[in-house]
Every structure is written in C-alpha cells, then in structure tokens.
Amino acid sequence: MRNAFIRGLTALAERDDRVALLTGDLGFKIFDDFARRFPGRFINAGVAEANMVGVAAGMAMDGLRPFAYSITPFATLRCFEQIRNDVCYHNLPVTIVGVGGGFAYGPNGPTHHALEDIAVMRTLPNLTVVCPGDPVEAELAVLQIGAQTGPVYLRLGRAGDPVVHQHPPEFRIGSAITLQPGSDCVLISTGGILSVAMEAAGLLRAASVEARVVSMHTVKPLDSATLAQCCAQNVPIFTIEEHSQAGGLGSAIGEWLCEHHVSCSLNLIAASDHFAHRSGSQNFLRAQEGLTAAQVAHRVTSVLEAVAC
C-alpha cells in the first residue's frame, strides 16, 4: 500500500499545490521522486512525530494540506495529544498517515504492532477514519482525501499487500464497497485483511455457503445505508479486522446497531485482548489470532451451524 499511497499523493500534488508531505524519517526511496518533484513541499521531520504533527497543523493553518506519515503506533499513539489539540480541535485539513496497520511489522514486536489505533482515533471529534482494503483502494482514498475539509486518519498496510480489486471500484469516503453478494451471511472487513475475507468467502462457497463481502474502508463515519441493507438480510454478520476486538470496526458497528435499535447476529473476528509476545511474520501472527482465511471460514460455519440447530 505504501507505493499506492505515494502514487495517489503524487497525482494529488500535481493538481493541488497546497499538498505537502511530512515524514518521521521514513519512506526513503519511495519518497525520492516526490521530494525531487515538489522540493518545497517535502519535509523530513526526523524521529519527532509529535513535533511533525504540530508542524503539519501550522502548515494547515497557513492554507496547506499536509500529510504526516509514520509507522502506525508512532503516527497515532505517540502524538495523540497533538492530533487531538492541534489538528482535530481546530478542524484542520491534516491527514495522519499510519503505515503498517495490524501485524504488518510483525517481527518488530508489540511496540510496532498496531492493534489499538482505530479504537483511539475514532474517538476524536472531526476526524474521519479511513482504512483501505488493498492498494487500489489506498490510491483512490488519497485522491478522495484531497477533497476533504477536515482531518483524516489514513491507515495503510505496508508492502506486498494483495490486490483484491481487479478493476478500480467507485470509491467514496463514507460509502462501503460490496465486492460480492451473498444470502447466507455477511462478511464486513476493514483494512488490509480484505484479501482474507475474500479468500474465506471462496472457502465458504465451496461449502455451499454464499457470503456477502463488504469492504468497510471508512470506519468513521460508517456507511449507514449499507449496514441497513446488510441487517435487512436477517443473516449473521461477521466483522473481520486486524485490530483488537475492543473499539475497532466490530465495536463501531455494535454501537451503530444500538443507536438505530437494530437487532441482528453480530460476530467479531479480531485480535484478542493481549500483546503478541511471540515474534513472527504478519501471516504467522494472524494465524495466532484466528485471522487466516481457513480460520475465518471455520468460525463462520460454526456460527451458521449453531443458528441452524
């Protein structure tokens, strides 16, 4: 997704000279072309993420549209106060870009895992939370963010994220994408685990279970119309996210159900409430948390069988 992000940002910067990029001493090589083409709009703020966000807020107050980029825990948790007070309080058009959502930086350990960021960021007033499902969505999201008037949190994967969309879909912030219909259950995914949701749907189809798959790339605000359609199917709904069960997409949809007085079977498939002390690749850590396609498909069939009894 990193390459897709910079492609989208470069295209946006070409048509909008207010667009600027700040990095917390990351992105070497992939940002070289952007820095060369827009030398006055690229700043390496060093390993000082809180200061970087403050600088971005000042730039936005001066009419620019800055994107502040770092590894997800450092872009969000380390400088939460600056995002809250400098950016969101003033409703500034600053985009906080967190790269490496979930277990993308798996071997680096819990300090680099990002399992709390959606929960934390969606509490902030004025902030839109966008978690693209694949590189295609990531590039389209950047272009859409260029039209936003307030702050945005953009959660990205890392490198090598599978491409799910073979053709660019219609992408609008706040409007989910239905990748395939299904009458037996609904799989709602956010972020780079979308490919797992699609693979799980394929396994379910082989078992004669037709699953509707939805990419809920915008966690705040949620797409009420799509959620209402999913609930109207009166089948179990499963949220799939590479994030803690607490406060993520599943929690957000649960809150939506309560607010709208809707009753349905909501099942959260997410990381459990603990730190991952075992080191390993993203796929290894996903497997530890039940987030592989086979594990998701097994969880879905188990729930469907229990409902049928």
- Please identify every residue annotated as catalytic: 49
The kind and range of the H/E element at 213 are strand 211-215
How far, CA to CA in Å, does 96 sit from each of 24, 74, 213, 275, 298? Answer: 11, 11, 28, 24, 36
Among 160, 153, 155, CA closest to 3: 160
How far, CA to CA in Å, does 261 sit from each of 222, 237, 253, 254, 286? Answer: 16, 16, 12, 10, 33
Q: Which strands, in side-by-side order, build the sheet including 211-215? A: 177-180, 211-215, 185-190, 237-244, 266-271
The DSSP call for residue 156 is E
Token duo for residue 243: 């994030």
In this structure, the number of other CB atoms found within 10 A of the CB of residue 189 comes to 31
Three-state helix/strand/coil letters over 223-270: CHHHHHHHHHCCCCEEEEEEEECCCCHHHHHHHHHHHCCCCCCEEEEE
In this structure, the number of other CB atoms found within 10 A of the CB of residue 76 comes to 23
User: What is the Cα–Cα distance from 200 to 198, expressed in whole angstroms?
Assistant: 5
